[in-house]
Amino acid sequence: MLTFEKEGVIPLCRNCHSLENAEIFKKFKGIILKEDLFHYSPEEIHQIINDFVKLKVRNYVKNYKFRVLEWVKKRFIIEKFYNGRCVGCKKVNIYSNLPALEFHHKSKREEEIDKIRWANIKKYEIKNIAQLLKKQNCICLCSNCHTLLHSSQFRNVVDDILEKNYSIRFNSYLKELLNNINEFKVQWLDFKDPLRILFKPGEAWKKYILQCYSIVLNECTNIFTPKKILSNIKVSKRHLKRVIENLKEKKLIKIVQNDGDNLYLMLTVKASNKINKMVQDKRYNNYLRQFLKKRYSPARNSE
């Protein structure tokens, strides 16, 4: 007790302790728990989080964005499959204490299962996390309920430790907890990963050659100009210059004519081969079709 007093230690339950130590969550709680967050596209969600982080952090560090995304993953999984709350007590939910929510194996044969800690799986894509939780037969519990289920030694001597009225309340709570867990059935429904962006970091070149290809399709010509690219994508002229240089370095476009004032470009054979492979993927094909529809619709052209 003297040591506790000297070091300023106070007793906290596991739930409160989890929340107390979740610095990133507390700092970016507003965006992590944004009510309509999953109504946006993956690209929009990434941009919203990116903008929010920049507002909160004076010296922007990219790592903050990914740590916020890890919390958003946890929120989505618990919201999607566990009704957004602790299966045991049904009181702790993502809005009251997301950091305290953990995953617990329903299987009783501990030697046959792998330990699943959020710190180890939070970097996976959401679909991989869901598959792992399904395979391991996991449910969601708050830290207090989770600790209680694993405290077998304490449960064996609880009547000797606690006064009778507390012992009765404890056993009643434990019975309700176990009943809630046994009755809960997880519905592992198919879903679209709300954070899976089409163009991952380092893959911006894919987006740009598809946009160049859209010009080729619409104009019925293999040759296009930087001005045409600029009219398709929302970037500055300085950034466009970097884009063109990057595509040239990757040998995805080539200059067919440069008369000083005008620059004429063409997609290379290498770019055509990559585009052919990309459009065989439904996701890239849909992106190209939506981009063409958005940029070259009759209404837009009439304007």
Q: Which residues pair with 154 in a beta bridge?
A: none
CB atoms within 10 A of CB 25: 21
Nearest one of 69, 86, 226 to 144, comparing CA atoms: 86
Q: Where does CATH 1.10.10.10 sit in the chain?
A: 204-302
CA distance 138 to 105: 4
C-alpha radius of gyration, the chain, whole number = 27
Neighbours of 86 (CB within 10 A): 31
Q: Is the pLDDT of residue 239 over 50?
A: yes
Report the pLDDT value the prediction gives residue 167, as an integer from 0 to 100: 92
Q: What is the pLDDT of residues 87-99, one digit of tens each?
A: 999 999 999 999 9
Q: What's the pLDDT band for 220 if we cut at 50, 70, 90?
A: confident
d(C-alpha 142, C-alpha 14), whole Å: 9
Phi, psi at 287, each rounded to 5°: -60, -45
Cα(244)–Cα(234) distance, rounded to whole angstroms? 14
Contact 152, 100 (CB under 8 A): no
Distances (CA, A) of 127 to 134, 187, 287: 10, 14, 21
- The pLDDT assigned to 73 comes to 97
Note the CATH number of domain 204-302: 1.10.10.10
262 or 17, greater pLDDT:
17
Q: What is the pLDDT of residue 117?
A: 82
Q: Name residue, tokens 């290809």.
A: 213
pLDDT digits (tens, 9 = 90+) for 164-205: 999 999 999 999 999 999 999 999 988 989 998 888 778 889
| Residues 148 and 180 sit within 8 Å (Cβ to Cβ) | no
Residues 283, 291: Cα–Cα separation, whole Å: 12
Q: Report pLDDT digits (tens) over 137-174.
A: 999 999 999 999 989 899 889 999 999 999 999 999 99
Q: In what order do the strands lie in the sheet with 253-258?
A: 223-224, 263-267, 253-258
- What's residue 200's pLDDT? 78
Q: Is 266 exposed, middle or buried (0-12, 13-18, 19+ CB in 10 A)?
A: middle
Main-chain dihedrals φ then ψ at residue 263, nearest 5 degrees: -120, 130
Q: Which of 20-29, 71-80, 108-117, 256-265 has the lowest mean pLDDT?
A: 108-117
Query: How confident is the model at residue 108, as a pLDDT?
Result: 61
pLDDT of residue 300: 45
What is the pLDDT at residue 297?
Answer: 57
In tens, the pLDDT along 29-72 reads 999 999 999 999 898 898 899 889 888 887 766 688 899 999 99
pTM above 0.95, yes or no: no
DSSP code at position 37: G
Residue with tokens 């959401």: 126
Residues β-bridged to residue 85: 93
Which residue from 184, 197, 201, 78 is spatially nearest to 129, judged by alpha carbons? 78
The answer to whether residue 109 scores a pLDDT higher than 70 is no
What percentage of the chain exceeds 70 in pLDDT? 92
Q: Which has more pLDDT, 20 or 297?
A: 20
Residue with tokens 């859209």: 214
Confidence bin at 296 (pLDDT 50/70/90): low
Output 298 or 54, whichever has higher pLDDT.
54
Q: What is the mean pLDDT of residues 265-282?
A: 93
